[in-house]
Structure 1
Amino acid sequence: MSSSLKPKQATPAKSQPQPYFAANTLQNFHGRRIRRGSMIGANFVIALEALWSNKLRSLLTALGIFIGVAAVIAALTLTQGAGAFITGNITSLGTNVITVIPGSATNRGAFGGAGTTQSLTPADAVALKHIRHVTGVSPVILLNAQVVYGNQNWNTRVQGVNTAFQNIQGWQMAEGNWFSEAADSGGLPVALLGQTVAHSLFDASGTDPVGQKIRIRNQLYRVEGVLQAKGGGFNQDDVVFVPFNTALIRLKNSTFVDQIQVQVDDSNNVNQVQQDITTILERLHHIPSGSLDDFRAISSAQLLQTAQQFTQILTDLLVGISGISLTVGGIGIMNIMIVSVTERTREIGIRMSIGARRSDIRNQFLIEALALSLIGGVIGMLIGFAFGFLITSATGLPFVITIVSILLPFVISSIIGIVFGLYPAVRASKLDPIVALRTE
């Protein structure tokens, strides 16, 4: 036997083919469907994975959405806080109070008050007392002044009112008493302090305000009492009341009043009293029939309605401006989704080749756009609430969160995601799988 026989060399084993990407995709696709129980769940997971794999791009794409949503939420928080503030102040007047202000409807508006127009006099207030169903009338002088006690000073609102004003506005005394009719008719230099003013002037020294003398425009006034806190918007407690005649002579030096407040016995009689006020003042002011009145008689309900209309207009304006940012964010989502479809053309072809329907492809990219928009909406909502809290805290307005403020970001984000994600999703579903598989 020949020793030259050579042992057969072992033939190298053929390498096992690596699993084809399509097989992995199919396995993952079916696995998700089994685990999640629905195509929507599988597509949602795929969408989150796609967004997570491009974190920076996803963040920049959602930037427009969460800026827009944050602006909307901050605007809503601000206007709702302002609305609650105005509503609280108006409702504190009660439903049976009519405020008469100088000026016509064309140049004063619903919230007219002290200004260049002067048409109301103390005699007008006296005449209104005799109207049927009227239980109280107070002329009002409005001004701002610096109040001084010792080395403490405070800028506040000073109002000249009469004794009926306490019942009209529902003020209660924390210390001392409301000034008397004699003090009013005699124009005596006495004052009542709101809680904010009392704390600002007397807390440092620890002195009881009642009986002390404060200085208003270089004139001394004796503190007759301190009012109970009312709270609410506009800091109603930041006020000093002095007798009407005192303010008219010592502080205002005028024969006109800034407003007249009229209390009616029942809210059902408000309209009738308004008509009577108009009739009497037109006669006293010698206003011809059909001419424009130089005053306005406004009920609390009318003030509230006007305030709500103003707040709604302001809300619509701010939300409309914020909508520009949302539109830009939606266009950004559409552009990025178109780029994503182009980058993942081969993946789309593979999914189609293993049985994915066109509707599955469409839903996959639509859900991806929706998820991206919703993430931006949630971030925007949180940022918006944070900014809203800071703004309302700085301005002293109440911080209001409503169910609308919470649901609106999800609604807006969903609409933007669907509207701007639909075109890229449909475009992806219409790709030819054969052409898509050839794409590198």
Structure 2
Amino acid sequence: MPGERLTPARLGPRDVLHVGSAGLRARPMRVVLSALGIAIGIATMIAVVGISASSEAQLLRQLDRLGTNMLKVAPGQDLLSGEKSKLPKEAPGMIGRIPGVEDVGATADLEATVRRSERIDKSNTGGLSVKAASEDLLKVLRGTVGAGTWLNEANGRYPSVVLGSIAAERLGVTGPGQQVFIDKHYFTVIGVLDPLPLAPEIERAALVGWQAASTLLDFDGHPGQIYERSTDASVETVRKLLARTADPGNPQSVEVSNPSAALQAKAATQGAFDSLLLGLGGVALLVGGVGVANTMIISVLERRHEIGLRRSLGATRGQIRVQFVTESLMLSGLGGLAGVVLGAAATYVFAASGGMPWVIPLWAVGGGFAATLCIGSVAGLYPAIRAARLSPTLALQAG
């Protein structure tokens, strides 16, 4: 009707997606190369967070299995003589009588070396030690025997030995029945232990029975380290009593520690060194955003005729802006989706190779994908504004 003001047609969501994806469908190779930068940045960030979370979950799983209720007692320096003090022979038994203590085990360092044979030089120890071990030690450490058997009252009085996992590897012992040379005697290997995360010193040791150490290796009977397990509720109470109970005459020279504290600290600080890698992933993401912006600017220059034709047919500047911002968002979204898949796959491979649980925090996936959309919006904003400002007449002439 005369005098009636024309209103441009609105673009529905379906129309916006159609016009926004037109440029992507027309240039698939350019889309792949532009999205690759975004994908690399997101994949790096997802993989860093996922690997860190998987490692932390593995440590927490270890802590749940090994427990945090084990304390270790060791002699410290005597304040008067300055020499290393000795724990009383009765210390393990006295500690076992503390209310709340469930299990007690002990070891003692021996003045002996372990070698594969007597022909190997005595100074070539390979970093291994020889320890006397009580029968309850393995139970307290919650360790397992990988092959063979553990020390008991019967075999602990004879020249038999149980090797830690690292000790067996360095000595070239593959299983029970073989012999190693300790001090002046050959000892028969009756067992090889699995790794002990709470007692790495045991992994590098050859363990002989308490009685055999006394009769064959001149052991004086004084324990060097005492390990105890108490109920979770009584750990702190037992900790306060350990020094006075282990050595009532010289409690100030007794050291009490929690072997699980190292694993707890490691789990708590698992992501402390991930910030650098996350920063590198962020840089890659920004570089990918610059690539998207560059692609969109080139797209605007190449499609000036299309833009002029659409403007001549009634498309508003706002609709042109929406078209190119949508195209930029879809381009970034494709890169982000590919990055999430690649990062999750890299995390899975790492976790599977290390026997860890596969953990990817949802906030990392959601946050990473949201970051790609934000970068896509920013990267597409200037090209969209530039496209909207093109004069329909000039654009058609340029085409």
TM-score, normalising length from structure 1?
0.63
What CA distance in whole angstroms lies between the structure 2 residues aligned with 1:167 and 1:269? 19
For residues 260-409 of structure 1, the aligned pairs below 5 Å read: 260-264=226-230, 266-277=231-242, 284=250, 286=252, 297-298=257-258, 300=260, 303=262, 305-392=264-351, 396-398=354-356, 400-402=358-360, 404=362, 407=366, 409=368
RMSD (Å), alpha carbons: 4.9
Task: Determine if the alignment matches structure 1 residue 166 to structure 2 residue 124.
Answer: no
CA contact (8 A) 2:307 2:395 kept: yes
**Which stretch of the first structure deviates more once superposed, 367-376 or 380-389?**
380-389
Paired residue secondary structure (1:311): coil
Q: Percent identity?
A: 27
Aligned residues: 360
Paired residue secondary structure (2:358): coil
What CA distance in whole angstroms lies between the structure 2 residues aligned with 1:272 and 1:159? 33
For residues 141-220 of structure 1, the aligned pairs below 5 Å read: 160=131, 161-171=133-143, 177-180=149-152, 188-191=159-162, 212-215=177-180, 220=186
Paired residue secondary structure (1:312): coil
| 1:139 Cα offset (Å) | 4.3
The 1:171–1:385 alpha-carbon spacing in structure 2 relative to 1, beyond 3 Å, is: same
The 1:376–1:183 alpha-carbon spacing in structure 2 relative to 1, beyond 3 Å, is: same
Which letter maps to 1:263?
Answer: R
Task: Map Cα deviations across residues 100-158 of structure 1 (whole Å, 9 max, x no partner).
Answer: 6899xxxxxxxxxxxxxx9796559647545432222334689xx99969xxxxx9998
Paired residue secondary structure (1:180): coil
What CA distance in whole angstroms lies between the structure 1 residues aligned with 2:377 and 2:284? 17
Paired residue secondary structure (2:150): coil
| 1:231 Cα offset (Å) | 11
Q: Which residue in 1 is equivalent to 2:6?
A: none
What CA distance in whole angstroms lies between the structure 1 residues aligned with 2:351 and 2:368? 20
What CA distance in whole angstroms lies between the structure 1 residues aligned with 2:276 and 2:375? 20
Which of 128, 133, 137 is matched with 2:104 structurally? 137
Task: Map Cα deviations across residues 292-344 of structure 1 (whole Å, 9 max, x no partner).
Answer: xx9563374x5554233211323444223321111111122122222222332
The 1:305–1:286 alpha-carbon spacing in structure 2 relative to 1, beyond 3 Å, is: closer
Paired residue secondary structure (1:72): helix
The 1:377–1:102 alpha-carbon spacing in structure 2 relative to 1, beyond 3 Å, is: farther
| 1:267 Cα offset (Å) | 0.8
CA contact (8 A) 1:146 1:156 kept: no
CA contact (8 A) 2:318 2:388 kept: yes
CA contact (8 A) 1:65 1:325 kept: yes
The 1:297–1:317 alpha-carbon spacing in structure 2 relative to 1, beyond 3 Å, is: farther
Which letter maps to 1:428?
Answer: A
Which letter maps to 1:270?
Answer: V
| 1:94 Cα offset (Å) | 1.8
| 1:407 Cα offset (Å) | 4.5
Which of 186, 190, 199 is matched with 1:224 structurally? 190
Which of 56, 77, 92 is matched with 1:83 structurally? 56
| 1:169 Cα offset (Å) | 3.1
The 1:285–1:225 alpha-carbon spacing in structure 2 relative to 1, beyond 3 Å, is: same
The 1:387–1:45 alpha-carbon spacing in structure 2 relative to 1, beyond 3 Å, is: same
Task: Determine if the alignment matches structure 1 residue 423 to structure 2 residue 389.
Answer: no
The 1:375–1:340 alpha-carbon spacing in structure 2 relative to 1, beyond 3 Å, is: same
Q: Which residue in 1 is equivalent to 2:123?
A: none
What residue ranges of structure 2 are gaps of 5+ in the alignment?
1-8, 77-82, 118-125
| 1:263 Cα offset (Å) | 0.6
| 1:81 Cα offset (Å) | 3.1
Which letter maps to 1:94?
Answer: G
Task: Determine if the alignment matches structure 1 residue 42 to structure 2 residue 15.
Answer: yes
The 1:434–1:385 alpha-carbon spacing in structure 2 relative to 1, beyond 3 Å, is: same
